[in-house]
Amino acid sequence: MKKGYRGYRSYDYLEAEHDYQYFKLAAEVGRVKPYRLPLNQEEEERFEEMISKNLIISLHEHPTIIPEQLQELEQYERQGREATAFAGLAESCLDVIFDNMMDGTCVIHSKAGWKWEDIIHDIGMRTCDIDHQDFLIKGERLDDFYQAKTEDKIAWVKSLESATMIENELERIEILYGLGVRMIGITYSESNSLGNGLKEKQDGGLTIFGHQAVERMNKVGMAIDLSHCGDQTALDVIAASTKPVFISHIGARALWNIKRLKPDEILKACAAAGGVIGVEAAPHTTITKNNPDHNLESYMEHFEYIKELVGIDHLAFGPDTLYGDHVGLHDLFSSNMSIEEQTATTTHQKIEYVKGLENPSEAMENIIRWLVKHNYSAEEISKVVGKNILRVLKEVWN
Ligand SMILES: [Zn+2]
């Protein structure tokens, strides 16, 4: 349990039901049977040492809680008042978390999502909540990360999975930076004015406006994420950016042939340009033939494959988990999140949740436990749990 947490719950400064519509939320801990990869005594000690010595960074999460009853989810999202899982996060080993906000479920005033007004609503509302407590501190520069570690708190980094909401306005990149956003995806799975998303049958690559946006992001110091881009658009961004880029939550298409994962060519190009690749754990993504049930083992198979392909200096973890029924959320928001197009090429065994990687509390912990159990050295572990990300952010954030 992190000592920096003193019991605050989301929107405690208001009166539930009197001031806003209250939804009974999923349990932050124990919604499904918690799983901790077993270690022997000596490995436990190494695990503890790795946690205390390193800055532990998750490159991609949604550390919010959705309602216990899934039929309330749409109504909940429409309120634009997502609850942060402070208590759940206090049980994690994380020092820094990249929070990707409402993404495809940002449907406050629109069914299709990603509207400028809605994104600003989401950012403002969540930040207001964060400003009323002191366990999560704003992660806007690297010093904030070290402060969080020292005070046993967590640095909270605002990220957006797509730049769709900037429409044709370059200055919105600066406005979002001013509001604390520090990483933006070029596209979500759908195309936008910058380029093509992964769901398209044809990818015309980065647009002229997309090139201008990449240039502006480089100048402003906004990190770039390519996770949901089409293949040609991703390659174009890597070539256009003067700074290294992230693929914050991804796996290897060579291991599981779905559009949501990236081919070797892109993984190699990202690494060759100095970038970092975070491995994805959202349900039904990082599956393999050896492990058709999505779980910690199939996840780490993707990690090891990418490590062999591009080297350990370009790897990190972006589990992309949340608190609540993630599979149910995918079913409900399947069209907004292009779930079918992402996974259509290969049939998978449906799971209820990803054992060992169910939420931000247990995901990074089990990943590090797995690395310890498989004899990764202290140096290798420190690189993939944080140092590689720090190296790129030092270059990208101004
Ligand atoms: Zn995503």
Q: Give yes or no for residue 397 having a pLDDT over 80.
A: yes
Ligand 1 ion local residues (Cβ < 5 A): 161
For residues 241-263, give the mean pLDDT.
97
Average pLDDT of the chain, as a whole number: 96
Which ranges in the chain belong to alpha helices (H)? 41-53, 73-79, 86-90, 116-131, 142-150, 171-178, 208-220, 231-240, 264-272, 296-310, 326-332, 339-343, 363-373, 378-382, 388-396
**How remote is the CA of residue 161 from the centroid of ligand 1, in Å?**
6
How high is the pLDDT of residue 345?
65
Count the neighbouring beta carbons within 10 Å of the beta carbon of residue 113: 24
Helix, strand, coil percent values for the chain (each to nearest 5): 40, 15, 45
Strands 276-279 and 315-317, how do they pair? parallel
Q: Give yes or no for residue 344 having a pLDDT over 70.
A: no
Write out pLDDT tens, residues 192-210: 999 999 999 999 999 999 9
**How remote is the CA of residue 227 from the centroid of ligand 1, in Å?**
7
**How remote is the CA of residue 282 from the centroid of ligand 1, in Å?**
8
**How remote is the CA of residue 171 from the centroid of ligand 1, in Å?**
24
Write out pLDDT tens, residues 159-169: 999 999 999 99
How high is the pLDDT of residue 35?
94
CA atoms of 97 and 85, how far apart (whole Å): 12
Domains, the chain, in order of start with CATH, read 54-396 (3.20.20.140)
**How remote is the CA of residue 278 from the centroid of ligand 1, in Å?**
11
**How remote is the CA of residue 312 from the centroid of ligand 1, in Å?**
23
**How remote is the CA of residue 195 from the centroid of ligand 1, in Å?**
16
Q: Which residue type does 315 have?
A: L
